[in-house]
């Protein structure tokens, strides 16, 4: 599918553009070829997200450890992708509904609002669209997602269409997300656990050894916080249990 420039007629775009909405309510239109990460500073989601009783979609705001603020989502599937991005140490920035793309496709101008823009520590940028797998069998949906991908890749950024992940992984990340905020577990306890945990030991053994004379479960929150932060890792494709083997990463 070709994304092409158009003429100057009314209702067309000479070049593909990205319209960005800012906290002061202003909107800036940037040619995609000139789009830079700095253009998203002080931006806000393109659409206002509201959660109203009876709505068909599940929307809300997620308190992100990565951004230190709230990130909006419009479905449970978007929330799942958001959780994984927040958990991923390779991600250092998250923007929801970062802009509205406009480009001439065939004989008409098309518009599209991506779900997320992820800023990676590798200095790359990844634009993510979230769609259930069954909807990707619809040719109209496939076509609607194809032209933004072409536009983004041509610009040198990454493009991802995400439809879900391993169920056990998602459940584990949801569980660990309870420990994502600083202060949920006292920092002194987290650091003490980090100093004492041994590479390659089972989680239950680490809990018993760190707890000492206390009940083993009292040592668990610090270990969970270390798993969330990525300082410890384990196989999250299996349900977390006392048999989970932890590894030191830093």
Model pLDDT for residues 24-41, shown as the tens digit of each residue:
999 999 999 999 999 999
In this predicted structure, the answer to whether residue 53 has a pLDDT above a threshold of 60 is no
Residue 67 has pLDDT above 90, yes or no: yes
Is the confidence at residue 7, as pLDDT, over 50? no
Q: What band does 49 get if pLDDT is binned at 50, 70 and 90?
A: confident
Location of each CATH 3.40.1350.10 domain in the chain: 17-162
Give the closest residue to 170 by CA, choosing from 232, 103, 85. 85
Residues 152-191 pLDDT 10s: 999 999 999 999 999 999 999 999 999 999 899 999 999 9
Q: 17-162: what CATH class?
A: alpha beta
Please state which of the ranges 57-61, 68-72, 80-84 shows the lowest mean pLDDT. 57-61
The 10s digit of each residue's pLDDT in 126-154 is: 999 999 999 999 999 999 999 999 999 99
Provide the percentage of residues in the chain whose pLDDT is more than 70.
Answer: 91
Give yes or no for residue 201 having a pLDDT over 60. yes
CB-based contacts of 1, cutoff 8 Å, min separation 6: 105, 143, 146, 147, 150
CATH no. of 167-248? 1.10.10
Q: pTM for the full model?
A: 0.90
Q: What is the pLDDT of residue 2?
A: 53
Measured at the CA of 172, the angle between CA 127 and CA 181, to 5 degrees, comes to 75
β-strand pairing of 100-105 with 17-22: antiparallel
pLDDT (average), residues 109-131:
97
Residues of the chain with CATH 1.10.10: 167-248
The residue assigned the tokens 């823009």 is: 117
Contacts of 227 (CB under 8 A, 6+ apart): 176, 179, 233, 234, 246
Interior CA angle at 221 toward 219 and 225, to 5°? 125
Banded pLDDT at 54 (limits 50, 70, 90): low
Q: Strands 158-162 and 125-130, how do they pair?
A: parallel
- Whether 147 and 153 have beta carbons less than 8 Å apart is answered as no
DSSP-assigned states of every residue in 84-147: HHHH-TTEEEEEES--EEEEEETTEEEEE--SEEEEETTS-EEEEEE--GGGGGSHHHHHHHHH
Q: What is the mean pLDDT of the chain?
A: 92
């Amino acid at each position: 599918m070709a994304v092409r420039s158009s003429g100057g007629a009314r209702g067309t775009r000479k070049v593909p553009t990205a319209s960005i909405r800012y906290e002061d309510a202003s909107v800036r239109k940037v040619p995609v070829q000139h789009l830079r990460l700095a253009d998203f500073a002080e931006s806000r989601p393109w659409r206002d997200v509201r959660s109203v009783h009876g709505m068909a979609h599940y929307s809300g705001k997620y308190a992100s450890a990565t951004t230190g603020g709230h990130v909006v989502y419009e479905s449970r599937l978007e929330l799942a992708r958001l959780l994984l991005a927040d958990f991923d140490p390779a991600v250092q920035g998250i923007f929801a509904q970062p802009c509205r793309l406009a480009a001439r496709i065939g004989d008409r101008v098309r518009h599209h609002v991506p779900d997320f823009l992820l800023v990676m520590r590798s200095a790359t940028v990844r634009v993510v669209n979230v769609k259930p797998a069954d909807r990707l069998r619809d040719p109209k949906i496939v076509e609607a997602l194809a032209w933004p991908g072409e536009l983004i890749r041509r610009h040198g950024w990454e493009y991802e269409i995400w439809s879900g992940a391993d169920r056990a992984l998602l459940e584990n990340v949801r569980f660990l997300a309870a420990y994502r905020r600083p202060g949920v577990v006292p920092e002194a306890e987290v650091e003490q656990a980090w100093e004492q945990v041994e590479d390659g030991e089972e989680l239950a053994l680490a809990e018993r050894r760190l707890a000492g004379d206390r009940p083993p479960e009292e040592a668990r929150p610090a270990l969970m916080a270390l798993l969330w932060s990525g300082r410890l890792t384990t196989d999250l494709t299996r349900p977390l249990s006392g048999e989970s083997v932890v590894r030191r990463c830093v």
